[in-house]
């Protein structure tokens, strides 16, 4: 199969690459652009480690074909901090111990950012619902929920 | 909590947190080498089959395929009995059997062959071109079936290890353990109440989110470099070196960030295959497991069966206990029988005790450690029995435990004597905790309590602490940081050298640059590795004093150090700063300062804990929802309280999964649920906030009273939930997991019994 061109914006930068028709957005980010901050945990949309934001909404990048992202704007964990300043969710995850091994962390950060962008004052249940698609095996979620609460309450 | 130390007992941000929140932390799969090939493994679809032939000639003709390996590519072993591993050791010969099936497949997912190709897709296509001729053998599905005398043997050369004479015939039982202290028969005779129950627990997976990943390269003269996420880089090195006959010094293992291990990243099988492909092709090779492979072919936990019998007097004093434990080790022997035995009823003071244990093979993946290996299942069995016993005695469940809890001077199940332990303090904290003293509200709710312990591994550790010319210090070791070792190591160095945290750097380096240290398992890093770090600091400090002495023209024995300053005890005017001595090391006298520290065979520092849980059981569906959780644990000294809380909360949540939702569903030896959709780990919606309460009873050995904390926290949840379900519904659950379906049918069976008892 011949490769097909993919033109899209990743973390604000224009990218033009060639991808296989069967290649996922996750693979395009990791293997072609070497943005390895986005993680692969299950390859079938169950763990959320590959969560990125596509055109303003979260998506499991392992379930999106790279070609589908043509013309899209994609934000990965590498694009969360702006002008050398960490995003509040990044600061909160550090301060409140919301990560241990760190493998699921990029996915959680993007789910958290998406939640807070669309609902700046979520309840605990709304937070838990927003991150229910992201599995974490280290933290028991407690400190992740509290970190997101802290961002909402501007305690970072 | 207040701490008497300047840098210990204080919450600090994790040193690795920044890299992890900006996506720069490099895990096993993140490595990319020039000219890299991709490896993939052909796995057996049959749980038990003879391999009559493997034909991979077609695969080799596929464009882009560079090599295929099978067990024929493995060198023969000189010492097949040499043992390897971390907490659960294995004979090298058995590891070889698991690595690549040799004439016979032992479980669904067993590696048959591996391919290296120029792309992952080509490697996957090549697998389909390998033709394996199998002769299907009967499947031995579990330990109970395996133990029956008429069951076929999985390994015709397996003779049960016992303390007695070698058995005459082979069997499926790898080890038989018998242990007794006191006079159990007399003890049971003295009891007013005796309870006997049987239990069964499921095979569960550690559930780390990062699949195993590895890259390897063999250079022109055969030196091999391996980049991988493993719990122990030296274990990885030594195992590969032994299997492939490479001199250890010519095999460098570089630790990548590890995305969770919990005991499961100790097998080093994928790493060995990657090195074999790299050697055969002469090119860098990368291999990453799919989630399906992680479930089917890595080492999950051991499913187990128990019978527990406990007797007590009317006043609650336990007089005797008997435990029969059967651990299913999977494809080759060596499950967590020993670890389960040592910790089993270790939370109790039991004068007369008998334990019979069996380690049994079956056609499942060979188990690996999972957080307090073997202990969660046995604590579920023991605590449930104790709960029933307390009820029959008419005693409050907490008072019963306070009456019988293990204390300093008591004996562990294996007859080791306890030094100072903190279980009583833990139970007293439970007694005074608001959770325990707040009445339950609402219908269908119950509150459960359970206690348990983890022995704690110590093994061997080493660390280096270098003093830099500007007075800063760098700690270097090969100790893999699972979740916080670098952070606590930095705190220990800061405390021991009395340097501000920002002047201490900590690095985990490769096997070529650091002295030998064993794998990160068994809650041993903060305690046992921490001791090596502490000793390295003492060594560095002694060297610094020796360098300060001639500068002050005083005897080294007269030198004192505190807060960045050396001075003479005899003449306080004679003083020199740490920074100046450090600067001078680069140009003068004895020269550079590198503190070395090792710790082998430290006494254990056992960790004890107790958990309180409130559940609500939906009578329509049987679903037990977790409403409130409190975990109380003795950390000795909580070096970094936020990290200790995080360990406890994570352990609780894994324990909740083990208790109510997780299990390997085998259908005639084939795993039917190898995905995160069908294997249900708790999500954020399945757990509440998890309250923690840290007790600090210093461990008498090792620095600062530190104990390990990572593992005891998983042993109580299934037992605590079972107790809560009983109080909510009146049904006892003796089998894990306690899924909605299982609870629903248990409630229905109980209703039927009640109806029958009414005479209808």
pLDDT tens string B246-271: 999 999 999 999 999 999 999 999 99
Contact (CB<8Å) A101/B685:
no
Provide the shortest C-alpha distance from residue B78 to chain A (in Å): 38
pLDDT(B581) > 90 = yes
- Report, as an integer, the average pLDDT of B659-675: 98
pLDDT at B467 over 60: yes
CA angle A112-A113-A115, nearest 5°? Answer: 65
pLDDT of residue B1: 56
A96: containing domain: 88-152
Distance from CA of B719 to the nearest CA of A (A): 18
pLDDT tier for residue B760 given thresholds of 50, 70 and 90: low
**What mean pLDDT is predicted for residues B283-301?**
98
Scan for tokens 């329509």, then name that residue. Answer: B620
Q: Which residues of B touch A108 (CB under 8 A)?
A: none
Degrees, nearest 5: CA angle B159-B163-B166? 35
In this prediction, residue B702 carries a pLDDT of: 86
Determine the residue among B12, B20, B638 to mutate to test chain A binding: the one whose Cβ has the most chain A Cβ atoms within 10 Å: B20
Given a cut of 80, whether residue B553 has pLDDT beyond it is yes
pLDDT at position B730: 97
CA distances from B49 to B134, B136, B425, B602, B675 (A): 6, 4, 54, 45, 24
| Residues A37 and A59 occupy one common structural domain | yes
- Is B288 an 8 Å CB contact of chain A? yes
Enumerate helices (H) and strands (E) in chain A, giving the number of each: 5, 5
Task: Let me know if B485 is exposed, middle or buried by CB neighbors in 10 A (0-12, 13-18, 19+).
Answer: buried
Q: Which CATH class is domain B304-456+604-752?
A: alpha beta
Give the pLDDT score at B668. Answer: 96
- When the pLDDT of each residue in chain A is averaged and rounded to a whole number, the result is 97
CB pairs under 8 A between A and B: 179
CATH, residue A128: 1.10.150.120
Chain B residues within an 8 Å CB radius of A49: 209
Q: CATH 3.90.1170.50 residue ranges in chain B? A: 31-137+206-297
Q: What's the sign of the alpha-carbon dihedral B248, B249, B250, B256?
A: positive
pLDDT at B513: 96
Indicate if A72 and A117 belong to the same structural domain: no
Residue B176: C-alpha distances to residues B112, B163, B333, B334, B522 (Å): 31, 8, 11, 11, 23
The answer to whether A63 faces chain B, any CB pair under 8 Å, is no
10-residue mean pLDDT series, chain A (156 residues):
94 98 97 98 98 98 98 98 96 98 98 98 98 98 98 92
pLDDT for residue B330 is more than 90: yes
What does the pLDDT read at residue B758?
78
Q: Which residues of B touch A36 (CB under 8 A)?
A: 23, 26-27, 29-30
Contact in structure between B722 and B659 (CB atoms under 8 Å): yes
Q: What is the pLDDT of residue B36?
A: 97
Which tokens go with B604? Answer: 């254990």
> Virtual CA dihedral for B557, B559, B560, B562, nearest 10 degrees?
-130
Q: How confident is the model at residue B82 (pLDDT cuts 50, 70, 90)?
A: confident
Note whether A70 and A134 are same-domain residues: no
B323 contacts B308 by C-beta, under 8 angstroms: yes
Q: Are residues A69 and A117 in the same domain?
A: no
- Answer yes or no: do A13 and A72 share one domain: yes
State how beta strands B65-69 and B111-117 pair.
Answer: antiparallel
- The conformational region for residue B320 under phi > 0 = left, psi -120 to 50 = alpha, else beta, is beta
Number of domains in chain A: 2
Do A66 and A93 lie in a common domain?
no
| Complex confidence, ipTM | 0.98
Nearest CA to CA, how far is B755 from chain A (Å)? 41
Closest residue by Cα to residue B253 from B280, B270, B232 = B232
Residue B88 sits at φ, ψ, to 5 deg, of -110, 110
> Do A65 and A93 fall within a single domain?
no
Nearest chain B residue to A89 by CA: give it: B21
Residues A56 and A34 in one domain: yes
Please report the DSSP string for B73-139 in residue order: GSPPPS-TT-EEESSSEEEHHHHHHHHS-SSEE-STT-EEEEEEESSHHHHHHHHHT-EEEEEE---
Q: Among B647, B495, B760, B626, which residue's Cα sits nearest to residue B14? A: B647
Say yes or no for a CB contact (<8 Å) between A99 and B210. Answer: no
Residue closest to B195 by CA, chosen among B400, B343, B376: B400
Q: How far is A7 from chain B (nearest CA, A)?
A: 23
Average pLDDT over residues B193-221: 97
Whether B85 shows a pLDDT value over 80: the answer reads no
Task: Put residue B636 in one of left, alpha, beta given phi > 0 → left and psi -120 to 50 → alpha.
Answer: left
pLDDT at B537: 98
Res B78: pLDDT: 80
Q: Is B692's pLDDT higher than 80?
A: yes
Residue B611 near residue B430, CB atoms below 8 Å: no
Domain B31-137+206-297: which CATH number of 3.40.50.920, 3.20.20.110, 2.30.30.60, 3.90.1170.50? 3.90.1170.50
Query: Which of A101, A104, A128 is facing B258, going by the closest CB pair?
Result: A101
| A72 and A97 belong to one structural domain | no
User: Quick check: bond before B737 cis, omega within 30?
Assistant: yes
Is B711's Cβ below 8 Å from some Cβ in A? no
Angle between helices B641-660 and B717-729 (to 10 degrees): 60
Q: Where in chain B is the domain with CATH 3.30.365.10?
A: 17-23+458-600, 304-456+604-752
pLDDT > 70: percent of chain B: 99
| Domain end call among A79, A101, A130 | A79
Mean pLDDT of all residues in B89-98? 91
Starting from the edge strand earliest in sequence, which strands make up the sheet with B49-55, in order?
B104-105, B49-55, B131-136
pLDDT at B3: 86
**B683 with A132: Cβ contact below 8 A:** yes
pLDDT band at residue B81 under the 50/70/90 scheme: confident
- Chain A residues in contact with B651 (beta carbon < 8 A): 140
The string of pLDDT tens digits covering residues B623-634 is: 999 999 999 999
Instruction: Tell which phi-psi region holds residue B316, choosing left (phi > 0), alpha (psi between -120 and 50) or beta.
Output: left
Quick check: B56 pLDDT over 90?
A: yes
Domain boundary among A79, A108, A124: A79
Please name the residue of chain B whose CA is at the shortest distance from the CA of residue A144: B684
Whole-number average pLDDT of chain B: 96
Is residue B49's pLDDT more than 70?
A: yes
Instruction: Look at residue B358 in the predicted model and tell me its pLDDT.
Output: 98
A90 touches chain B (CB under 8 A): yes
Each residue of B646-679: b (16+ CB within 10 Å) or e?
Answer: bbbbbbbbbbbbbbbbbbbebeebbbebbebeeb
Nearest-angstrom CA–CA distance, B315 and B404: 11
**Considering CB atoms only, which of A46, A81, A128 is closest to B684?**
A128
Q: Is B14 helix (H, G, I), strand (E, B) or coil?
A: coil
- From A59, A79, A99, the end of a domain falls on A79
CB-side exposure of A146: number of CA atoms within 13 Å?
18
- B536 by Cβ neighbours in 10 Å (0-12 / 13-18 / 19+) ranks as buried
- Cβ distance B312 to B203 under 8 Å? no
Same domain, A111 and A72: no
CATH number of B17-23+458-600: 3.30.365.10
- The fraction of chain B above a pLDDT of 90, given in percent, is 95
Across the range B673-691, mean pLDDT stands at 98
Judge whether A99 is closer than 8 Å to chain B, CB to CB: yes
**B19-47 pLDDT tens trace:** 999 999 999 999 999 999 999 999 999 99
Please give the distance of CA B162 from its chain centroid, rounded to a whole number. 26
Query: Which chain A residue lies closest to B678 (C-alpha atoms)?
Result: A46
What are the pLDDT digits (tens) for B126-178? 999 999 999 999 999 999 999 999 999 999 999 999 988 889 999 999 999 99
Report B:1-60 residues touching A (Cβ under 8 A): 11, 13-14, 16-27, 29-30, 32
> In CATH, what number is assigned to the domain containing residue A44?
3.10.20.30
Contact A94 B260 (CB under 8 A): no
Query: Between the CA of residue B261 and those of A132, B477, B481, B661, what are the distances in Å?
Result: 22, 19, 10, 20
Confidence (pTM): 0.97
Chain B nearest-CA residue for A20 = B121
> In this structure, are A61 and A114 located in the same domain?
no
């Amino acid at each position: 199969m011949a490769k097909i061109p993919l033109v899209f914006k990743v973390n604000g930068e224009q990218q033009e690459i060639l991808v296989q028709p069967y290649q996922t957005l996750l693979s395009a980010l990791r293997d072609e652009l070497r943005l390895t901050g986005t993680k692969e945990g299950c390859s079938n949309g169950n763990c959320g480690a590959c969560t990125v934001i596509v055109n303003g909404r979260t998506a499991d990048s392992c379930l999106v074909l790279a070609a589908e992202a043509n013309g899209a704007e994609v934000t990965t964990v590498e694009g969360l901090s702006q002008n050398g300043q960490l995003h509040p969710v990044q600061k909160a995850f550090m301060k409140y111990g919301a990560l241990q091994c760190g493998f699921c962390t990029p996915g959680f950060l993007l789910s958290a950012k998406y939640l807070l962008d669309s609902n700046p004052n979520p309840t605990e249940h709304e937070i838990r619902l927003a991150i229910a698609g992201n599995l974490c095996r280290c933290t028991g979620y407690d400190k992740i929920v509290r970190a997101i609460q802290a961002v909402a309450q501007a305690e970072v | 909590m207040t701490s008497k130390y300047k840098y210990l007992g204080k919450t600090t941000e994790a040193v690795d947190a920044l890299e992890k929140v900006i996506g720069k932390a490099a895990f096993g799969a993140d490595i990319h080498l020039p000219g890299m090939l991709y490896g993939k493994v052909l796995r057996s679809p049959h749980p038990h089959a003879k391999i009559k032939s493997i034909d991979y000639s077609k695969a080799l003709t596929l464009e882009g395929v560079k090599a295929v390996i099978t067990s024929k590519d493995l060198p023969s072993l000189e010492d097949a009995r040499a043992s390897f591993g971390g907490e659960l050791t294995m004979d090298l010969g058995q590891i070889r059997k698991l690595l690549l099936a040799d004439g016979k497949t032992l479980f669904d997912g067993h590696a048959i062959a591996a391919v290296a190709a120029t792309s992952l897709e080509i490697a996957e296509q090549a697998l389909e071109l390998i033709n394996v001729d199998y002769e299907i053998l009967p499947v031995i599905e579990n330990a109970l079936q395996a133990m029956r005398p008429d069951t076929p043997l999985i390994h015709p050369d397996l003779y049960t290890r016992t303390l007695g004479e070698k058995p005459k015939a082979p069997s499926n039982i790898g080890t038989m353990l018998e242990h007794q202290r006191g006079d159990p028969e007399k003890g049971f005779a003295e009891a007013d109440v005796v309870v006997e129950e049987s239990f069964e627990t499921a095979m569960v997976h550690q559930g780390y989110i990062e699949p195993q990943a590895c890259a390897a390269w063999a250079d022109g003269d055969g030196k091999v470099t391996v980049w991988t996420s493993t719990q122990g880089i030296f274990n990885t090195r030594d195992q590969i070196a032994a299997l492939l006959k490479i001199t250890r010094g010519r095999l460098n293992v570089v630790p990548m960030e590890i995305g969770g291990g919990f005991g499961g990243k100790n097998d080093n099988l994928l790493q060995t295959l990657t090195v074999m492909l790299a050697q055969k092709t002469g090119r860098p090779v990368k291999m990453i497991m799919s989630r399906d492979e992680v479930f089917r072919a890595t080492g999950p936990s051991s499913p187990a069966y128990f019978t527990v019998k406990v007797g007590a007097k009317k006043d609650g004093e336990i007089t005797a206990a008997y435990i029969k434990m059967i651990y299913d080790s999977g494809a080759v022997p060596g499950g967590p029988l020993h670890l389960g035995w040592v910790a089993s009823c270790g939370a109790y003071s039991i004068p007369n005790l008998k334990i019979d244990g069996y380690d049994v093979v079956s056609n499942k993946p060979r188990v690996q450690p999972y957080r307090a290996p073997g202990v969660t299942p046995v604590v579920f069995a023991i605590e449930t029995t104790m709960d029933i016993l307390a009820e029959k005695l008419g005693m409050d469940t907490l008072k019963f435990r306070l009456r019988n809890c293990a204390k300093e001077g008591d004996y562990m199940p294996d007859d080791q004597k306890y030094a100072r332990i903190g279980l009583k303090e833990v139970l007293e904290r439970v007694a005074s905790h608001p959770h325990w003293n707040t009445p339950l509200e609402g219908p269908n709710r119950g509150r459960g309590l359970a206690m348990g312990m983890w022995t704690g591994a110590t093994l061997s550790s080493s660390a280096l602490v270098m003093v830099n010319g500007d007075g800063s210090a760098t700690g270097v070791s090969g100790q893999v940081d699972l979740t916080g070792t670098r952070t606590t190591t930095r705190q220990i160095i800061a405390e021991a050298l009395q340097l501000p945290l920002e002047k201490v750097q900590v690095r985990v380096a490769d096997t070529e640059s650091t002295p030998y240290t064993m794998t990160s398992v068994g809650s041993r890093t903060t305690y046992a590795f921490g001791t090596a770090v502490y000793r390295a600091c003492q060594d560095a400090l002694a060297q610094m004093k020796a360098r300060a002495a001639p500068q002050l023209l005083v005897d080294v024995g007269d030198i004192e150090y505190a807060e960045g300053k050396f001075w003479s005890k005899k003449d306080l005017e004679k003083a020199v700063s740490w920074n100046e001595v450090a600067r001078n090391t680069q140009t003068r006298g004895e020269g550079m300062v590198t503190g070395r520290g090792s710790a082998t065979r430290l006494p254990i520092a056992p960790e004890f804990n107790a958990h309180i849980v409130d559940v609500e059981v939906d009578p329509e569906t049987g679903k037990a929802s977790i409403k409130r959780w409190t975990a109380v644990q003795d950390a000795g000294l909580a070096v970094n309280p936020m990290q200790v809380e995080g360990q406890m909360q994570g352990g609780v949540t894994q324990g909740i999964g083990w208790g109510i939702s997780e299990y390997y569903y085998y259908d005639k030896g084939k795993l039917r649920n190898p995905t995160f959709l069908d294997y249900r780990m708790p999500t954020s919606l399945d757990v509440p906030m998890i309250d923690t309460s840290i007790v600090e009873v210093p461990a008498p050995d090792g620095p600062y009273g530190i104990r390990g904390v990572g593992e005891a926290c998983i042993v109580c949840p299934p037992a605590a939930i079972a107790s809560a379900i009983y109080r909510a519904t009146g049904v006892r659950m003796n089998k894990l997991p306690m899924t909605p379906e299982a609870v629903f049918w248990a409630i229905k069976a109980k209703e039927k019994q009640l109806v029958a008892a009414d005479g209808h």
